[in-house]
Amino acid sequence: MIMKYLTLICALAIAATTLLAKNIDLSTVPNRSTVQLTIYNSDDLTLVRETRTVTFKKGVNPLQFSWANTLIDPTSVELKFLTAPDKLDVLDTTFPHDKPQMLYWNVQSDIDGEATIQITYFTSGITWSADYLCIADQDEAKMGLEGFVRVSNNSGEDYENAQVRLVVGKINLVEKIAQLAQVPMNQVKDLRDEDRQQLKNKAMLRMVERAAGMGGAMAAPATAAEKEIVKEGLSEYFLYTIEGTETIRHGWSKRMRSFEGQTVPLRVQYRYRPAEHGDHLVRMYLLANDKESKLGTTPLPDGIVRVFRQSERAGLSYLTQQQIKYIPIGDKIELNLGPDPNVIFELVKLRTSRSDIWMQVNGMNVFRRVDDGAAQIEVNSTVAGWDDHGIYTQRIRNYTAKPIDVEVRRSFDGHIVFRSSLKPTLFDYRTVQFQTQIAPAAKANLLFELVQHQGHNAKQNNITLEETQIGQ
């Protein structure tokens, strides 16, 4: 079923009069010549710019524009004359009370003949999203990475042969609305909803006007060739223009390839970062959105990444799917494949002891150190400070056929001394980080001692690293 709700009707005025017949009427319906959609998925807002060719007579020409059962914002509809703009003028715009989703323009024409008009408006219900398909090679040294955009049309209107432009990035219009309303930014929320919407439309239009010259021509591409998606920077945003035109009917969605990187180099790393990935050692694919990786032509918009690997048996193995956040050009792409059953990761506590126990004589500000019974300490005293020692081993068993790189991050609260020969570094004041490589079929015991100053002994809330050999 083809829906067609958006119409422009020229009432054939027999005389130069703006009076429209009430019941018996005659009209012509000029078709759309071109249509362009600029879709902002962050706001459920699409700017539609369409052109139509209309034949005017000298005098007043009534035009009716209606949009029944669509999601057009009526306050945003604008009419412009692309030909003979100095000879054509909108005298008035009428929104009839008895016919919702309709307006009339009375156009004063000084010409007899054809003119191209442009109607712009905002509609909701058209959205786009990005998604990615990654297929890693069998040896996991490189992968094919393809990006897609999917445009969904639930606006109530069919758009045929439309040029489609997608805006990547979140648009913050408050500042622009404030400028237009000449009010401080914190007063934008106090504007009447209607006024704010109108200013928002205006702000959006101004932004789009700057990009008006961008994007390819509306000519159809050669048959059977994949359409290129042209990517251009636009202020803080990125504009994707799909080559040629697309027909996206109401209710349909369409997915097109936005880029293809055939041989993106990748690195495999095992990571333990409980704050990011939960309490597991997870396997990661690490790559970069840069030129060396045969990417880097565009930021990667938010979207779902689906990751497969070529299996030993010609087919695919499904690894994972995850949502990625916007990745700027040059930034890294990190794909979490989850725990690997062939790598066993355990933290085992080997020993516990206490030292540097300080007693406080009850009711006095007097502290005495317990020194293996050498000094007599009052019975009337209470433990006030001590050091807890724990010796741990981070056991990692690698049952894969390759050496693995492992990075471990562990956070500790309190006043901590971290002793080891693991060459650790501090990721932050409370998080220790260390790396190791484990050969195939090998087992690693990464030993460390944790000294936690407790009670009166705790003077800080941070970690000090000490290089030392820890015995089992």
Partner 1 sequence: MQRLARYAAPAALVLCLLPSAVFARIKLITLPVRERVEIQLDNPDATLVEEERVVPLVKGENQVDFSWANTNIDPGTIVFRVIGPGEGKAVDAKVLSVSYPPGEAALVWTVAATDSGSARVRISYLLGNLNKSFAYRATASNDETTLDLSQYMRLQNLANEEYGSTELWAGFGKEFLKPIGINETKEMLMNRFAQVPIRKTYTCNPQEFDYLDRGQNKLRVPMHYVIKNDKASKLGAASLPAGKVRIFIQGAGANAESATAFLGEDWGKFTPIDDEMRLYLGVAQDIVVQRTIERRDQTRVAGNLYNREIIIKYEVENFKPQPVTLDVAESISFVRNEIFGDNGREIQWELGPQTTFQGGPDAEKSSIDKVLFHAPLPAKSADGKAIKTILKLHLILKNEW
Contacting residues toward partner 1, per CB under 8 A: 131, 133, 150, 152, 223-227, 246, 250-257, 304, 306, 308, 311, 313-319, 321, 341-342, 344, 348-354, 357, 359, 362, 368, 370, 373, 377-383, 386, 388, 390, 397, 399
Given a contact cutoff of 8 angstroms between Cβ atoms, the answer to whether 47 and 120 are in contact is yes
User: Could you tell me the smallest distance in angstroms from the CB atom of residue 397 to partner 1?
Assistant: 7
Residue placing its CB nearer to partner 1 in the complex, 115 or 242: 242
Neighbours of 17 (CB within 10 A): 10
Please identify, using beta-carbon distances, which residue of 252 and 429 lies nearer to partner 1: 252
**Closest distance of CB 168 from partner 1, Å:** 19
In the complex with partner 1, the residue whose CB is nearer, 160 or 331, is 160
- For the CB of residue 370, give the shortest distance to partner 1 in the complex, in Å: 5
**What is the Cα–Cα distance from 74 to 126, expressed in whole angstroms?**
16
103 or 361: CB nearest partner 1: 361
Cβ distance to partner 1 smaller for residue 56 or 345? 345
Q: Smallest distance, Å, CB 185 to partner 1?
A: 39
Give the residue with the Cβ less far from partner 1, 95 or 252.
252
Minimum CB distance to partner 1, residue 321 (Å)? 7
SS (H, E, C) the chain: CCCCCEEEEEECCCCCCCCCCCCCCCEECCCEEEEEEEEECCCCEEEEEEEEEEEECCEEEEEEEEECCCCECHHHCEEEECCCCCCEEEEEEECCCCCCCEEEEEEEECCCEEEEEEEEEEECCEEEEEEEEEEECCCCCEEEEEEEEEEEECCCCCEEEEEEEEEECCCCCHHHHHHHHCCCHHHHHHCCHHHHHHHHHHHHHHHHHHCCCCCCCCCCCCCCCCCCEEEEEECCEEEEEECCCEEECCCCEEEEEEEEEEEEECEEEEEECHHHHCCCEEEEEEEECCHHHCCCCCCECCEEEEEEEECCCCCEEEEEEEEECCECCCCEEEEEEEECCCEEEEEEEEEEEEEEEEEEECCCCCEEECCCCCCCCCCCEEEEEEEEEEEEEEEEEECCCCCEEEEEEEECCCEEEEEECCCCEEEECCEEEEEEEECCCCEEEEEEEEEEEEECCCCCCCEEEEECCCCC
Q: Closest CB to partner 1 among 92 and 413?
A: 413
- Rank residues 50 and 246 by Cβ distance to partner 1 and give the closer one: 246
**Taking Cα atoms as reference points, which of 243, 237, 247 lies closest to residue 258?**
243
Contact 287, 330 (CB under 8 A): no
Calculate the CA 213 to chain-centre distance. Answer: 26
Tell me how far, at minimum, the Cβ of 429 lies from partner 1, in Å.
23
Closest CA to 208 of 179, 177, 171: 171
For residue 1, the minimal CB distance to partner 1 (Å) is 10
Q: How far is the CB of 224 from partner 1 (least distance, A)?
A: 4
For the bound state, the minimum distance from the C-beta of residue 246 to partner 1, rounded and expressed in Å, comes to 8
Query: Nearer Cβ to partner 1, position 11 or 391?
Result: 391
Would you say 246 or 288 has its CB closer to partner 1? 246
> Nearest approach, Cβ of 318 to partner 1 (angstroms)?
4
Smallest distance from the beta carbon of 244 to partner 1, in angstroms? 11
Between 297 and 380, whose beta carbon lies closer to partner 1? Answer: 380
